[in-house]
Amino acid sequence: MTEPAVVLDHVAVRFQANGSAIHAVGDVTISVADNEFLALIGPSGCGKTTLLKLVSGLVQPSGGAVTVYGGTAAQARRKRLCGLVFQEPALLPWRTVEANVRLVAEIIGRRANVQELVELVGLSGFERAFPHELSGGMQQRVGLCRALAFDPPILLMDEPFAALDLLTRETLSAELLRIWETRRKTVLFVTHSIPEAVLLADRVVVLTQRPSRIVDVVAVDLPRPRSAEVEESPAFAALVRRVKDLLRTTQDRAVR
């Protein structure tokens, strides 16, 4: 059996903020297989972004352990094993679209087909624009290109399509699936959209309110490649319902 890409072993995260402690992640254990597409879903503030930051080595666990391809998250960071597509794309304001996309690839000396990527996300004609000249959704697409440009084995995606209109969102998720299927990457994908999670993922992890734990992991056994027709199937609807029901239980817990 091949080594898992990511293992979170009884991971907990507590933050210190303004003198008080925030217990963000309670106790999360999950193993993500190499080439798996894993979606994470849960109430706002439950620690989804924090989980991705743990894998990318930007946040340290207060308890438990994070392993990325058998090493630590810090080692994975040095080796640039993870491409990050975060809620805030954090583009360099003094670099053009083209130069932002090339950024990480440039640092690690890899060639990137910038033109192809820019076309892929529908930003042709904006190669020489600066971030402040773009809308929020366009900036997010530049962030997506930047992560794809250096072809990392793991993609950590934090609501990457949240700021996009429905059609662009559909185009980009279809494109992401195509890239994932051809280049075989491991994807950890945070979203608030249940249909998006079910359409894309092999498994959907449902998290509780903070401090988060895993309520359940739903295996999505729909055939691939998945097209828009899959979304019309009764099996798809049943999976969406199942994830929704699980999410409801997290709200019940918060009320009590």
Ligand X SMILES: Nc1ncnc2c1ncn2[C@@H]1O[C@H](COP(=O)(O)OP(=O)(O)OP(=O)(O)O)[C@@H](O)[C@H]1O
Site residues for ligand X per CB under 6 A = 15, 17, 22, 24, 44-50, 210
CB of 109 to ligand X, least distance (A): 32
Please report the beta strands in the chain, taking only residues with DSSP state E, as ranges in sequence order: 6-17, 20-32, 37-41, 63-68, 82-85, 154-158, 186-190, 203-207, 212-219
| Sheet with strand 212-219: strands edge to edge | 63-68, 6-17, 20-32, 212-219, 203-207, 37-41, 186-190, 154-158, 82-85
Q: Which is nearer to ligand X, 59 or 120 (CB)?
A: 59
Q: Which is nearer to ligand X, 77 or 79 (CB)?
A: 77
**By beta-carbon distance, which residue lies closest to Mg ion?**
49
Nearer to Mg ion, 49 or 191 (CB): 49
Selection from Mg ion, ligand X, none that 139 binds (CB < 5 to 8 A by kind) is none
By a kind-dependent CB cut-off of 5 to 8 A, residue 208 interacts, out of ligand X, Mg ion, none, with none
Over the window 33 to 62, marking each residue x when it contacts Mg ion by CB under 5 A and - when it does not, the resulting string is: ----------------x-------------
Residue 8 binding result from ligand X, Mg ion, none, given CB thresholds of 5 to 8 Å by partner type: none
Cβ count near 219 (within 10 Å): 10
91 C-beta neighbours (distance < 10 Å), count:
22
Q: Least distance from C-beta 101 to Mg ion, angstroms?
A: 23
Return d(Cα 125, Cα 228) in angstroms, integer: 29
Nearer to Mg ion, 47 or 57 (CB): 47
The DSSP symbol for 86 reads: -
CA distance 189 to 38: 6
Q: From the CB of 45, what's the least distance to ligand X, in Å?
A: 4
143 binds, among Mg ion, ligand X, none (CB under 5 to 8 A by kind): none
Considering the complex, state which of residue 1 and residue 17 has its C-beta at the smaller distance from ligand X: 17
Instruction: Note if the bond before 4 is cis, omega within 30 degrees.
Output: no
Q: How far apart are CA 239 and CA 245, in angstroms?
A: 10
140 lines the binding site for Mg ion (CB under 5 A): no
250: contact with Mg ion by CB under 5 A: no
The residues of the shown chain that bind Mg ion, judged by CB under 5 A, are 49
